[in-house]
Amino acid sequence: MKLPIKEHKSKHPASDVKTASLMAFVVRRGKVVTVGYNRRVFPNGEAFSQHAEEAALKKAGSRAKGATLYVLRFKKDGSRGMARPCGRCHDTLNRAGIVRVFFSLDNVDRWGKLIWQNAQWIEV
């Protein structure tokens, strides 16, 4: 699966996120359905950090059911960072029906992998 990372990285609204930029892709049958970025949102007037996974899943809606999610972290120097989804995102992934997650690892061009099995996420 070749993700259109370059194309989307230029659109990343990272200006208000100081630590790192994260990007998530919902993929079905080899096609990118939606892309999400980490960013600050203000749902009730208070700043809330929306994670890239949450943004991508919100846009995907029911199309996330049975899909694969790829999540990447880019550090300031452009190298990849650990992007294993947090506990909050695990819950969101379950509710959306995502079955498989690939996440970037620190400083290497490989992926970590999680699958949803027996009502829990298992790293494989």
What's at 5, amino acid-wise? Answer: I
Distance of closest approach, residue 29 Cβ to Zn ion, in angstroms? 25
The residue whose Cβ lies closest to Zn ion is 89
Contact window for Zn ion (CB under 5 A) among 43-51, 69-77, 105-113, 114-122: 43-51
Given candidates 23, 56, 89, 98, which one binds Zn ion under the rule CB under 5 A?
A: 89
Residue 59 C-beta: closest distance to Zn ion, Å: 16
Cα atoms found within 13 Å of the Cα of residue 105, Cβ hemisphere only: 9
Among 39, 51, 73, 90, indicate the residue that binds Zn ion (CB under 5 A).
51
Query: Which residues are within 8 A (CB) of 5 and not within 5 positions of it... i.e. 6 or more apart?
Result: 23, 72
Burial group, residue 43, by CB count within 10 angstroms (0-12, 13-18, 19+):
exposed
Contact (Cβ atoms closer than 8 angstroms) between residue 71 and residue 24: yes
Token couple for 52: 């890239």
Query: Is residue 86 involved in binding Zn ion (CB under 5 A)?
Result: yes
Nearest approach, Cβ of residue 92 and Zn ion (Å): 8
CB of 5 to Zn ion, least distance (A): 19
Minimum CB distance to Zn ion smaller for 7 or for 41: 41
Encoded tokens for 20: 């790192």
Q: State the residues that interact with Zn ion by CB under 5 A.
A: 51, 86, 89
